[in-house]
Every structure is written in structure tokens, then in C-alpha cells.
Chain A
């Protein structure tokens, strides 16, 4: 089945093989190799890589709508954050009476605000399965409703981009309000354990890392599968000539809504895996600038390739990690210059570098947007 899905996707094949290798080698080097050994990978690096992997999945989700459907979403950070909040709420409930006030029912920040009982939308989040369902459902529903409204009214181009931005901006302000019941600016933090496993244990962290890797692989395969199907071909047709596709008789709006929703769900999953690894979710994740950054990862990696998105997300974030430590005063210059140079000289992103090589190897070049 894999060979079917990954046919004509050499980049994806390489990416998945590398991913598989990393998923096997890193846990071994962390857990099985002694700390004193030069080969030992410390846990903080594992978690860092886990974080990159969730970013990569988020980038894949954005590439799906931007690269293949032609919708530049400047609000995908919202779906990511909603998934994160759903997971965060579960983790908050798991703290139980270990919070600073020792209240078995209410999270600390509610005790703090003198709330007497749990609000209705926090009910059920003590169950992992329910939280998991919400991770998929909440971003999916928002994307569905938003997409249904927007695509039906034929909002396109920059108008669409800007209202996705308005969406995430509005959500940011909403979550910043303490009355909303999501912890305001401090967000949700101080998590203790997940499914009974301590979040501070190396094993849990490695497990989360592996989960992130698997989610990325599955998400990638799912996107590739969808794009290889008839649905995918219509999607590309919509991107390249929306009116013509409509005149041929396809219900363009429906296709758009479904792809948009799928992408939002993937972003939500990425957010849910991100939160237990970084240990905090707060409204800054909704910030419009964050969403723009995601788009930039995809652009740096290369649009409409999927594996380019993975590459871009990991590289940009790795660069950020290195530069913020190495040259704290001037890393923004580097980052800014990187964006400018990539746009000017690598319009196809880093994956574009690979294109001529592939042509030489006898593959047909992909249609680029």
C-alpha cells in the first residue's frame, strides 16, 4: 500500500525513511545508552526534536491547503492552539488535588478567580478518550463552519487570508480574557502526568516523541493518499482553475470545505502532541504572527511537495534554536534575511533545489504553483 501512495514521491520516501530511522535510533540512544557515553542523547534534545516533529505536522497541514488547494491560511495557528488547549484541559484535570490549592476538582486558576464549580465546557476532559475526541472535533468543527461560510460566499484570495487572520486574532483576544475560563494570559501549565505516566519521566518523553513521529508519518501518508486520489486531482484543479472546475460540474465549495477541515484536524493533532512536550499552552499560540511563521516554514521548505513543509518546519525552527542561543542580539537579522533570500532566490523553496536533480533521474517535474 505504501508503495502505491508514495509512487512518484521520492522526497517523501526519503523523508519517511529518515524519520523511521530517527524514531528508532533516538529512543535507543536516549534510554539504552549510558549518560556518560558520547553517544547518549539527552532527554531535552529528544523533547526538542519531538517539538519539531509536531511543527512539521502542522506545516504539512498548511501545505495541504496552501500548496494543493491554493488557500493561503493565515489562521492555522488557531487550529493548532485549539487542539493544544483540548489536550491541555485534559492534562489540567489530571493534576487533580496536586495543585497549589489542593482542590481536587478545580484547576488552580479557577480557585484563584474564586470560581466555585467547573464550567460546563470543562466537563468530560478528565477522560482521555473524550479529550482526544475534542482534539479532532473542535478544530474540525471550527474549520468546517468557517470554511462552509467562507467558501459558499466565494471569499477568495487575500480576502480569505485576511479573514482567517481575523479569526485567529479574535480567538487570541478571547482566550486572553480571564472570564473565558481558559486561564487567561497564563494559559494552562504545570502539568503532572498523562495517562498516569509522569511527564517528567524520560520514558514518557520518548514515548511522546515517538507518537509525534508516528503522527507525522501517518499525517503525511494520509495527505499523500488524499492527493493521489480523485479528490486530490480535483483539489489541484480547483487551485489552478477554480471557475473552470465549477463549470465542469464539481461542487467546488464542498471539496474546499473537506480539505480545509482535514487540514485543521491535522493541525489540531499537532497541537495536542505539542502541549505535553513543551508543558504550556497559552493564547500567544493564537497570535497572527505565529500563523504567518507557519506559512513561512512551508515556503522555505517548498510549497506543494508536503515533504518540503516537513523540511522547512524543522530547519527554520532548528535555526531559531541555534541562533537564539548563539547570537541572542542579532538572530532576527539572520531569520529575516533567510526569509527574504529564500523568497527571492528559491521560489520553490528548498525542495526546489531537489527538482532539477529529480528530472535528471528521469522523473516528471511536478506542477508547481
Chain B
């Protein structure tokens, strides 16, 4: 095999690994259920934005290009209805392409509204990517023929890889942004003290009471974010350990600062062989139709 052909094969096996369709089916259900939770409980403020006068609406570039008007009822309520209905249809394993595309568009609208008042968060990127790429896989629940139980597909591999890359981008580019806006000395500054004094609870006072702890943690954050691309090449226990690390990291920022980053955390599930892990959770088996064998 020539060098070019070898590179092509390596490219294909990295971006298009043949992965189980069942993994996509499970991830799809979990992420779309999370979208419902997100819209109703976590990122619920676009509904409230409907009551804020349009004078304070600062539409994002994309929304200006598309001439999206300032959100107001009943459009905000309609958007929530469409988002919820389409997400539940996908979560149930029905109409993955059509309902998935509608859900992705509704979520884009929902988030553009959420961030259209001069505060943009970056924690939703991986989830938005997931909603955009998962419909491209098409039907993924065990059926007959090519898509039978246990079938593997390159389309499934590409979609999962995109979600993984988006999650890693969220971390790695956050490190780049910290260096861009805060300089290389970002980690030696007082950003945790800043955050804790503005919104912290009891744990944050504990954190700040230990000398140098905040600066040490800031260095750890920057190092971990810069190192995050290794997630894309780790396997087995090393990968599991890295995922547990990020889970604990987010739990820590939630307990100290009230920042949870859940929309990114759920996308880390794209690294997990869900079709093998979930059936081992005995209580789930038998209750979730997609897990029945």
C-alpha cells in the first residue's frame, strides 16, 4: 500500500469508525431527553426574554442575517412546544431524521434567543453539534436487514466522532481563549476569587480560605483544558479515568461556583460504549425498551 493510501485509510478509520448503531440510538435518547430538561429547567430563560422590551435585544450575527425578530410571546411558547415535541419524538426512537432536524433548528433558535441579550455562554456547543449530526445517521434502532441488532455503521461513527471533537473543542478552545484574553498569566490571577465573591456559596469560602489553593486550581484547569485532546485517543480504563476526572471537575465548579456545564457533560457520553455499559445497570434493564435484548 502506498503512503497516500495508508493516510487515506487512517483518515477514514479515524473520522468514520464503524461503530454500533445501538450506541447512537441510546445517545440520541439520552441527549434529547436532556434537551427537554434543559429547555424547561436549566436554560429556561428564553421564555422570560419574551417579556423583556426589544430595546434590550442584541441579536447575534446569525440572527441578524436571518432577520429573526426579537422574541415575544406567543412565538417563544411555540418554540418551546416544537422543541419539546420534536425532542420527545426523537427520544422515543421515531422519525430520527425529520424530528431530529426540527429539534436541531428549534434548539438553535432557543439558544440564539438565550444568548441574544449580550451574554453568550459556550457550554452548549457540543450539544448543539450533537443535535445537528445525529439525524444524519438515520434509523438506528434494531430492525431487520442491514440495520439489525448489533449492526455497525460508518455514519454512526462519524456522528459520534463529531460530538467527541465538539466536546474536546469546548475544553481546548476555552484554554486558548483564556490565554488570548487573560494572557499566559491567567492562571496566576484571581479569576476564581472573582467568581466566588460574585456568586459563591459556602464551599467557595472554604476554597478561598486556603492560601494559594485558587491559583493552584487555576493552573490545573488550564493544564487539563490544554491536554483535553488526548480524550480522542485514550481507550479503556485510561479513557474512563479521564471522563471521571472531567465529571469531578464539573461537580467541583458546581459546588464552589454554581457553574455546572451540564450540556457539555452529557456530551461526554459520546465517549462511552453505551450499548455495553447501560445493560449492566440492572435497574435499567427491562424498563427501557431500547435496552431489551
Q: Do A and B bind each other?
A: no
